[in-house]
Structure 1
């Protein structure tokens, strides 16, 4: 069997040791693995055509692998993020230090601060680092979602904890996860957090979600304190550990909106356009659109465009929730239906009145990933 590029990627010490034990490192790509304790292995192994991305190593090991013909991209000092990281973020990665120093001290906040300082200064090095980071995240996301049936849940960031709408979005996420789908959201607050919370609650008894919603309602939004808002989420995680997995795909472009802590795997990007397209493109089993404003409206037609042209193969199902919202308040549905008329996507769109109807509507629509 021909090796794929992912077969040649090494993203942990365990993978490194396994490859070394089986023979050569030649042609492999090693991402953000601390190799300072593996000098003997590097001096002994064949590393021709290997690439080391942000891997600390001793000077004699670095000199040897370069002499073999390997490319070595050293770690970049004084950055609040790792541009070469090989894995998606976890909530603990982004919110490290929250309990001691508040949100302002976390890696997530520090990365946003760096982005704010560098995004407008036209520094080619900073823009290159952002691009390398985002491409590394996309690679990690593809690896994580390989073979998964992914349902995207889109909706407004302003949906507050403690509301009926938030509870409905959480129950939606739980039902999708229990049906075997991987829930993917924009990774932020509001409807996005609710859907990730529901997926987290999926392995627990039904009462767990009811109790978690009551606990979270005490801190309805991330304003005025992101710290209090995030700490409430971690209290839920600590009280009910071993929750279900889901994916959040947020962005530092909207860094004033923090990521939520209920997505087990977080693909955070600097470039919002890459994040938006990536989220929709990976929702291979369909997308459910909860009520939202401009951002959600944009996502509807961002998803409709490749469906219209069938540029991603068969169109993916689209379910819009809340008839009044999408026909009267923001009348996206009439335009979407007109756009779909006479095309194969016409059979893959649905409008429902309530969030409770969305999973069944999604399952009625044809989709290759079902």
Structure 2
């Protein structure tokens, strides 16, 4: 997330993330000593770099002219230049936008930065390249930093659920209505950022500013490409058609991973924190859901998320337990009986008052409110 020049000094490590912040700091303070400049194009700021104190400054992935780079190094600054040939920027200072990850979609999904990053991920994990491993770690840490900046004051509700939920189904529409209701209640909706239930919740949040008929119209458009299989291209194009027809959607967050490369990100999350390491992504997603999590019917991934969230609630390692609402009694008591185990864990713990099982998705917002009181 990009910040304004006024926010530059707010970062704990005195980070500079935009050219505007750079100019403001140089003008107001006359020094870059001990600043961290992250992924800023400084090609046209050679004079400033040559004449400003840069003692112990760090420049991460910043483009600059050779004479400026030489001066910085000689003055004791650490310069980590952009890495050529990568389909992503490991030092990026903000989260992704859907149009960035799906750029070149007109040539097919295989040509997009999202698909190219997954191909790079597969190649480099297969050959065990330590440099590639470092780049993945740096990228993921940059994602976490940008996510923290974005959500610093937000009330975040997570919506978890499986990727198999098809567009055009009543379940999908229900998940979308849930996302819309949460957004209209003032929450920031956060999901795993993929298809199915995740996309539906992000779509609902996107639809919050519009009248109720917009969501019906959007679901009708999307139903023409019900799943990302067999064609991610057709699936994504339908989403961008919705965005074109209704361009002023509300914001929400998607936190997907290239670890599940078969599962593309959805285009309705306005801010996308995409990770290479799924474990970092899972923990980070749930940890940021400070106003609770709604768990829709899902399979192994959703079961894992239930208990990943239950563990810090059980031990109160993140403070007071946050609400957990499981939707669909039959699913969570019969098909995949996570609820009885969750109830057993919660017994005689403070989290017992923060868990609920509801039959219908429409009951979830009210259950969240009840558990938060």
Per-residue CA distance 1:183-234 (angstroms, 9 max, x = gap):
0000000000000000000011111001000010010001111001000000
Give me the whole-angstrom Cα distance separating, in 2, the residues matched to 1:366 and 1:81. 40
Match of 1:222 among 194, 218, 228: 228
Which residues of structure 1 form unaligned runs of 5+?
none
Give me the whole-angstrom Cα distance separating, in 2, the residues matched to 1:134 and 1:322. 34
Give me the whole-angstrom Cα distance separating, in 2, the residues matched to 1:262 and 1:88. 14
Match of 2:94 among 76, 83, 87: 87
8 Å contact kept, 2:13–2:36: no
- Which has the higher mean CA deviation after the structures are superposed, 61-70 or 314-323? 61-70
Which residues of structure 2 form unaligned runs of 5+?
1-8
- Which has the higher mean CA deviation after the structures are superposed, 245-254 or 20-29? 20-29
Matched, 1:366 2:344: no
Q: Flag the 1:203–1:6 CA change in 2: closer, same or farther, 3 A.
A: farther
Residue matched to 1:121: 127
- Which has the higher mean CA deviation after the structures are superposed, 141-150 or 5-14? 5-14
Report matched runs for 1:181-200 at 5 Å. Answer: 181-200=187-206
Residue matched to 1:17: 23
Per-residue CA distance 1:262-320 (angstroms, 9 max, x = gap):
00000000000000000000000000000001100010001001110111111110000
Match of 1:111 among 107, 111, 117: 117
Residue matched to 2:48: 41
Matched, 1:77 2:77: no
Runs of 4+, deviation exceeding 2 Å: 3-7
Per-residue CA distance 1:103-161 (angstroms, 9 max, x = gap):
10000000000001111212110101100100110001001100100000000100000
CA displacement at 1:4 relative to structure 2: 5.2
8 Å contact kept, 1:160–1:190: yes
Residue matched to 1:311: 317
Give me the whole-angstrom Cα distance separating, in 2, the residues matched to 1:162 and 1:285. 29
Residue matched to 2:238: 232
8 Å contact kept, 1:153–1:183: yes
CA displacement at 1:5 relative to structure 2: 3.9
Report SS of the residue matched to 1:152.
strand
CA displacement at 1:11 relative to structure 2: 1.2
Give me the whole-angstrom Cα distance separating, in 2, the residues matched to 1:93 and 1:25. 30
Match of 2:59 among 38, 49, 52: 52
RMSD of aligned C-alpha atoms? 1.0
Report SS of the residue matched to 1:120.
helix
Give me the whole-angstrom Cα distance separating, in 1, the residues matched to 2:219 and 2:51. 56
CA displacement at 1:242 relative to structure 2: 1.4
- What is the total number of aligned residue pairs between the two structures? 364
Q: How high is the TM-score relative to the length of structure 1?
A: 0.97
Report matched runs for 1:235-314 at 5 Å. Answer: 235-314=241-320
8 Å contact kept, 1:82–1:133: yes
8 Å contact kept, 2:59–2:79: yes
Report SS of the residue matched to 1:170.
helix
8 Å contact kept, 1:153–1:287: yes
Give me the whole-angstrom Cα distance separating, in 2, the residues matched to 1:166 and 1:286. 21
CA displacement at 1:366 relative to structure 2: 2.5
Matched, 1:321 2:327: yes
8 Å contact kept, 1:347–1:366: no
Give me the whole-angstrom Cα distance separating, in 2, the residues matched to 1:11 and 1:362. 36
CA displacement at 1:65 relative to structure 2: 1.6
- Which has the higher mean CA deviation after the structures are superposed, 62-71 or 243-252? 62-71
Give me the whole-angstrom Cα distance separating, in 2, the residues matched to 1:25 and 1:57. 15
8 Å contact kept, 2:193–2:269: yes
